[in-house]
Amino acid sequence: MSDRIGRGGSDINDLSTINDIKIRWYRVPTSATMNDRFNERSFLVPDTEKRLFHLLASMGIMFGGQIQAHQILHRVSKTARKILAKLKSEHKVVEHTLTAGGKEYKLYTLGPVGAAIINVPYQQDYWFWYSDSEAIQKLMSVDLYIQMCDYLSAEVKVLVANRPYAHTFVHGDREYQIGVVLDDVVSLLELYRWEPPRERVILICQRVNQVDSLLGYLGDQNPVRIVTREKLKEGLIFYKPENGKWTLDVPDKGIKSNKVKLKE
């Protein structure tokens, strides 16, 4: 993947609690994959749209704002919204609604036609298997995933991770355990108390002070990094444990190739 993706965040600022969040999922008509409206032209799509389909295939779900802010479809938000509406009508993506704080936000998942275009396996209405917390963890992980793909100039594989982690990101022979901090860090505290991580870990949180309690179990030698959703709007900017506090750790902005390695 050589095309760079613009910077930005999602529509909603705080996803660190799911108590006030409701998601309304929509189903796709069973006839959507084989409809007279779809012909060979439906499969002739721009690379930007294919890029979106691949992102949705990897992460499962995205905010409409994440699509627009990262300029995946078009640099002009109004044009991006029109393209999304067209993709929705053609069942290339499926639109859903997240409600938080009395406001509604649009979510998108991969549609059956979009999956057919990029030739990936597809399970009809797969999003109904997501719990609210799983969906929030995926939404909080999207910005990190895009930034890592952008920085590495390569696709990053997404695998299922063992709890308490949400995903395993794989680049070459390197694996990164991705954790998402929601209301608390109890599960991480219990894990690190007995066995501080030796594998590469990236924790996504709303604020740095959310994970201050972990510092008691982490040393400079532990390959753990945290990233806030606010910093992800600026780029791939981490914090690392150093001398009992979190200090900035920004990857080298030099040559980016498939051989590049994020700092230990």
Full DSSP string of 103-165: EEEEEEEE-HHHHHHHT----TTGGGG--HHHHHHHHHHHHHHHHHHHHHTS--EEEE--TT-
Mind listing the pLDDT tens digit for each residue in 104-150? 899 999 999 999 999 999 999 999 999 888 898 899 899 899 999 88
Mean pLDDT along residues 17-44: 68
Mind listing the pLDDT tens digit for each residue in 174-205? 999 999 988 778 888 888 888 888 899 999 99
Instruction: List residues bridging with 170 in a β-sheet.
Output: 157, 175
Lowest mean pLDDT among 30-44, 86-100, 123-137, 148-162: 30-44
Architecture in CATH of 21-130: Orthogonal Bundle (1.10)
Instruction: List residues bridging with 249 in a β-sheet.
Output: 238
Q: Please identify which residue in the block is written with the tokens 């902005």.
A: 253
Task: Show me where the domains of the chain are located.
Answer: 21-130, 140-249
∠ CA 89-73-104, nearest 5°, is: 60
